[in-house]
Amino acid sequence: MKQKHIKIISTVGTILCLCAALGYAVKLHHDCKAQRTEWNSIAEETFREALRMEVDWRGKIPHYQSTGGQAGTFPLKRELPDSITFVTSAYGSRKYALSKEKYRHNLYQASDENSSITYLLLEYPIVLDTLHAHWDSLLCQREVVATTAIRYAYTDWGEYTDTLFSPASAATDSLLTCYLGVRCEAEFTGYVGYGSIYRHWDAKNWLILFLLLAASAGFPSVCRLVYRFAERKFTRQEILHVADARIEDAKIYQLAEGITYDVMNRTISRGTLSCQLPPQSGILFVLFLRAEDHRLTFDEIDRSLWRGKGSRDQLFTAIKRLRSKLEASGLPLKIIKESDTYQLKITHSIDTFTKVSNG
């Protein structure tokens, strides 16, 4: 497998890992949005429950009389009237308009309950901080993590409206509004916020996302390591020694794969393929053919080519020149560096070659 193929594989693998990470993050986002719908439903339910707790806690609901001496209520099955009259010590007899829209969101739909709650809220006002604490407690019991706030607006008998918040400020969204009292004089608006979606991811979600991102970042390196390992393992199994026997005075060497080397003409050939080596490369090639296991050290090459006065740069240049010629020839011949030695090998062959002296 060529290096360009490795690059293609590593690029495709990186893109796939990134797409997987992005897809997983999108899935978590959608799951979180679906959870928020469920959390909102729980928040509405617990908000109404907290309001009922506040009303029920006040005990026995007081009774009242209207101007006509009859109970100030209207039948449940009858259509809601446009107004209702109350008698109070402070304002006397007074008519109040009723909002059908608000009444649809009243916590208590029974008219007698609401008329009693009107007097109840006057005698025992709701403490907003206590209501907020009850709501938070109910949410915790249902395992919903949220930031909450309540807006409380109360319209007294003189139709003056006072507004309070608990807590004083909160970065939340409006959830729902409930009313209490027959005049819907007490308005409670619940606000809830869940913060960033990331705060709702658990350790498992973060671990999976981290592994996907790490895989995308490390995939090219893993591909290169696998390629190097495979090349080292499988190439060494396929590249075999050129020959085991040597004929010192041979003029023509016959190698495996039908390859021959003419010492006099410094020509390597097989069929129609032919390559002529420069003088120094020809001498170096013969040195490899005659060496044991066709392996040479720097000192052995130095003594033969430069009588022990060569340099490392000269060695690298000579090896590089011979390698270039062998690669350009198209013949399955390679020079492999192992530690501090160089070895001549034939690729894709299980045969050795023999030398035929004097052509």
- Do 157 and 88 form a contact (C-beta atoms < 8 A)? yes
51 versus 234: the higher-pLDDT residue is 51
Whether this model's pTM surpasses 0.85: no
pLDDT band at residue 274 under the 50/70/90 scheme: confident
- Of the chain, the end-to-end C-alpha distance in Å amounts to 38
DSSP label of 94: E
φ, ψ at 189 (rounded to 5°) = -115, 125
Q: What is the dihedral of CA 298, 302, 308, 312, to 10 degrees?
A: -60
At 240, is the pLDDT very low, low, confident or very high (cuts 50, 70, 90)? very low
CB 111 within 8 A of CB 121: no
Q: Answer yes or no: is pLDDT of 47 > 90.
A: yes
Structural domains in the chain, CATH included, are: 58-197 (no CATH), 239-356 (1.10.10.10)
The 10 Å Cβ neighbour count of residue 148 is 21
Q: Quick one: pLDDT at residue 290?
A: 86
Interval 97-142: pLDDT, tens: 888 888 888 888 766 667 677 777 877 888 889 999 999 999 999 9
